[in-house]
Amino acid sequence: MQSKRTQLSGLVLNPTASTPTEGCVALLDALGARSYGLEEAAVFLGARDQIVEDVRKAATETPRIESDNFRVFVFNDTIVLTYLREQVSPDDLNDFCGFVRAFQVAFLLKGILLRGDLDGTALPCRHPY
């Protein structure tokens, strides 16, 4: 039997939480990564690691983003960007979308196409920040 709680990089997901935290989530996947050869895969991984680091750094330098609540998770060719808030405002969603847009453009400039989804809603979790 699986537990109803899951630990994910310091974030405790709990589907039965009585007071959900709100947040923005972008799930992005590299198109065609499954068919990459060794050289293409190496280029993708190098670009991905550099861009992820640049986005993390930008989050700490942008006054409108609370960097303690901004996270990037990487799973092979899938990247998840999250921004947890007490309550998601239109400004929060706009700021987060700006980061997602900059992230996608950085990949496009390296010839890597992404597809994905974006959500700004209540999340069933408690965060320790």
Per-residue pLDDT of the chain (129 residues; tens, 9 = 90+): 444 444 444 555 555 554 557 888 899 998 888 888 999 889 888 988 988 888 888 888 877 788 888 888 888 888 898 888 878 888 888 888 888 888 888 888 988 888 988 887 655 445 444
Output the CA–CA distances (angstroms, integers) from residue 28 to 4, 64, 81, 116, in the order listed. 26, 23, 8, 4
pTM strictly above 0.85 = no
Every domain of the chain and the residues it spans: 6-126
DSSP assignment of 52-92, as one string? HHHHHHHHHH-TTS-GGGEEEEEETTEEEEEEEESS--HHH
* CB-neighbour burial class of residue 29 (10 A; exposed 0-12, middle 13-18, buried 19+): middle
What pLDDT does residue 14 have?
53
What pLDDT does residue 121 have?
67
The single-letter code of the amino acid at 69 is N
Q: Which fold has domain 6-126?
A: Alpha-Beta Plaits (3.30.70)
What pLDDT does residue 128 have?
45
